[in-house]
Amino acid sequence: MPPAPLQGAKRAAAGLADVTLRRADEVKIKRERAARALVAILPPEAAGFILHAREPDPRPAAEVAEDLVDVLKQHGEASLNAAAGALGRLITFVMDECPAAAALTGVHVMRFLEKVPPSAAFNKGVTFLRDWCGVDLPARGPIMRPAAKAARAPSTRNDTDEMDLMIYIGLEVISLNHPSPFAAGHAAGWAFLARHSLRFEQSSNMCLAALVWHTAYGVTAEASLAAVVLDKNPNPAEQRPRPVWGTIDGVHDPRALRAALMEMLRGREDVRCILVDTDSPSGDPAHPATTRWLRAPLRAPSRVDASLHSLLRMPPLNFSAERAGRFHGHLAKRFEQCVAKVSPDFDDDERGDVGRFAGSAAQRAELEPTADLIAKHNLTATRLPDMYAKNAISQQQLDLAVKMLIVLRHAYARALADAALLAAPWARTGPFGRPAPALAAAPAAAPLLAILPPAPAAAAEVEDITDAPGAAPVGDT
């Protein structure tokens, strides 16, 4: 069985810090491990069903098992684990309760279910065993129905809050000023996701294809073309590569994202991710033990949360642990969607394009990224590939990205003038409630950031940006 993919400090300690681990490679390894765990406990008669063999296979059992693994590892890790879990629990139960039994019967299954009421995961595993392994466990009827559960409050693991303007600006400031390149890089990465309406899951399997200068509405900005290796779709067969347009010019400072982002990605282009993992023991990029980047994406949910929560608790944001804990990997996806929904500067078609929903420009077949665009980052390309440079719809998406930058800078200027606007960031009376004046040149970044809460006195290494007269603190410490 292949070893489990290591992450963080364990990966570095194993001497794998410079060994590339793509998201696709990690998925393959986990699927194979799950398939081997299931094959190890399947009854021998399952082989004929899985391999579509009418006669017993005369080959050695080890060879047959390898063929079974090759077939089953095409399924998802979660389905394989559910099947192995269900069958493993039943086998363990029979060995403990009925040691003299020669085979698993319907009586054993029903006795097990009387002691352990079925769950949705158990039923999913049983269904997989029946449909894909030919293991039809002899139990039917109401006993297989999961018991009704009382309604529960939403789990704190869910994204209860989306990113707002204050959080976004705070990430820009951290990426520009933090002394740790790892904290600065992760701040730039999270801000990049927000500026491109990306889920965290997409960030671990995507490539930057080009960074080009683009002028629209009288403003010239550095625009970005990226490619998601697989978009999100309920039907895995319909998941396709999709283009992503945006800008990497900062709102608070045009330089805020580029330097930190490039330092994190340069030399690790073939990893194909936006947030690169570190050797931090916890995932916190500012952890004192963090010393290097790994050639692997930030993936484990606990490490993702550690990265994000650490940044939210840094100056100038200074969130409490409780408040930071309300945010998870999905928060960045909705940032620009919320901006487009509230701002009067966007029409319905543009709102659909910002979210890359069905029918949007990103879903058009002729704009699907080619294999070379999703092979690795291209951090030196300064012109668009011809399929995008010569496409009018692609140019419109770059115009839309510049418009979003202008709207963000206009809202930022309004918030600097009146920090009270951030009390309800997505209300019509908030910073995005008024149109940007003729979408003309956006205001320059202010030298002082009055909309963020004051930093603790002990955190002096980050630029003090909260001394503006009349600054109104927003958020808790």
Q: Are residues 87 and 188 in the same domain?
A: no
Percent of the chain past pLDDT 90, that is, above it, reads 55
- Give residue 455's pLDDT: 52
The answer to whether 296 and 276 are in contact (CB under 8 A) is yes
Tell me: do 97 and 221 sit in the same domain: no
- Which helix (H) or strand (E) segment holds residue 297: the answer is strand 293-297
Q: How many Å apart are CA 464 and CA 44, to the nearest integer?
A: 68
Domain match, 138 and 170 both: no
Say if 137 falls within a structural domain: yes
Predicted confidence (pLDDT) at residue 213 exceeds the cutoff of 60: yes
The answer to whether the beta carbons of residues 83 and 125 sit under 8 Å apart is yes
188 and 132 together in one domain: no
Structural domain includes residue 380: yes
Q: Is residue 297 part of a domain?
A: yes
332 occurs within a structural domain: yes
Mean pLDDT, the chain, whole residue set: 85
pLDDT band at 448 (very low <50, low <70, confident <90, very high): very low
| Residue 466 covered by a domain | no
- Does residue 359 contact residue 352 with C-beta atoms inside 8 Å? yes
Q: Does residue 449 fall inside a structural domain?
A: no
Residue 206 and residue 328 in one domain: yes
Domain co-membership, 169 together with 137: no
The confidence band for 236, taking pLDDT boundaries of 50, 70 and 90, is low
pLDDT digits (tens, 9 = 90+) for 322-363: 999 999 988 899 999 999 999 999 999 999 999 888 889 998
Query: Do 325 and 253 have their domain in common?
Result: yes
State the pLDDT at residue 471.
Answer: 39
* Least reliable range by pLDDT among 100-104, 189-193, 210-214, 306-310: 100-104
Q: Give the confidence band of 445 by pLDDT, cuts at 50, 70, 90.
A: very low
Q: Are residues 72 and 169 in the same domain?
A: no
Q: Please, what is the Cα angle at 357 between 345 and 238, to 5 degrees? A: 165
Q: What token pair was written down for 269?
A: 């282009």
- The count of structural domains within the chain is 2
215 and 283 housed in the same domain: yes
Contact 334, 162 (CB under 8 A): yes
Task: For residue 239, give its domain range.
Answer: 165-439
pLDDT over 80 (residue 185):
yes
* pLDDT at residue 259 in the model: 94
Higher pLDDT, 321 or 477: 321
Instruction: Note whether residue 424 is domain-resident.
Output: yes
Last residue of a domain, one of 144, 173, 193: 144
- The Cα 139–Cα 142 span in angstroms is 10
Task: Judge if 181 and 129 occupy the same domain.
Answer: no
Is residue 380 scored above 90 in pLDDT?
yes
- In a domain? residue 451: no
Q: Is residue 184 domain-shared with residue 132, that is, in the same domain? A: no
What are φ and ψ of residue 403, in 5° steps? -60, -45
Same domain, 109 and 205: no
d(CA 200, CA 194): 10
Residue 447 has, within 13 A of its CA and on its CB side, a CA count of 3
Give the angle subtended at the CA of 109 by the CAs of 119 and 84, to the nearest 5°.
Answer: 60
Token pair for residue 474? Answer: 């927003």
